[in-house]
């Protein structure tokens, strides 16, 4: 059995672009849920302490599903403007699901 592929990304928005970021991420999440059945989890979390700090958590069934996600048409349309809303580079870590 192949291991699920997960990532956790920390994203810090420019305060004046936070609402735009949330709207873009909300659209991205809805499309992932609707069109990527191999995406087991796709969640955006906002900090209770700092409203400009977010974590995106995603788990895909395997590496092929993650690769598909990275190349899907809406990813290429939405991710560049999402990244443009950030105050600093995204911190991204990859993980294997255990158990």
Tell me the pLDDT of the chain (99 aa) as tens digits: 578 999 999 999 999 999 999 999 999 999 999 999 999 999 999 999 999 999 999 999 999 999 999 999 999 999 999 999 999 999 999 998 776
Q: CA-to-CA distance for 65 and 23, rounded, in angstroms?
A: 24
Question: What pLDDT shows up at residue 3?
Answer: 83
Question: What pLDDT shows up at residue 78?
Answer: 97
Phi and psi angles of residue 36, each rounded to the nearest 5 degrees, phi first:
-130, 80
Closest CA to 91 of 11, 5, 17: 11
Let me know if 27 is exposed, middle or buried by CB neighbors in 10 A (0-12, 13-18, 19+): middle
Are 72 and 36 in contact by the 8 Å Cβ rule? The answer is yes
Closest CA to 45 of 35, 57, 37, 36: 57
Closest CA to 72 of 26, 44, 37, 21: 37
Question: What pLDDT shows up at residue 10?
Answer: 98
Question: What pLDDT shows up at residue 99?
Answer: 60
Question: What pLDDT shows up at residue 1?
Answer: 54
């Amino acid at each position: 059995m192949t291991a699920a592929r997960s990532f956790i990304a920390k994203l810090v928005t420019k305060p004046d672009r936070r609402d735009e970021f949330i709207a873009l991420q909300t659209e991205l999440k809805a499309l992932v849920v609707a069109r990527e059945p191999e995406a087991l989890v796709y969640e955006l979390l906002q900090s209770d302490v700092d409203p400009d700090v977010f974590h995106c958590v995603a788990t895909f069934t395997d590496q092929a599903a993650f690769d598909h996600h990275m190349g899907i048409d809406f990813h290429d349309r939405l991710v560049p403007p999402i990244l443009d809303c950030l105050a600093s580079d995204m911190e991204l870590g990859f993980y294997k699901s255990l158990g």
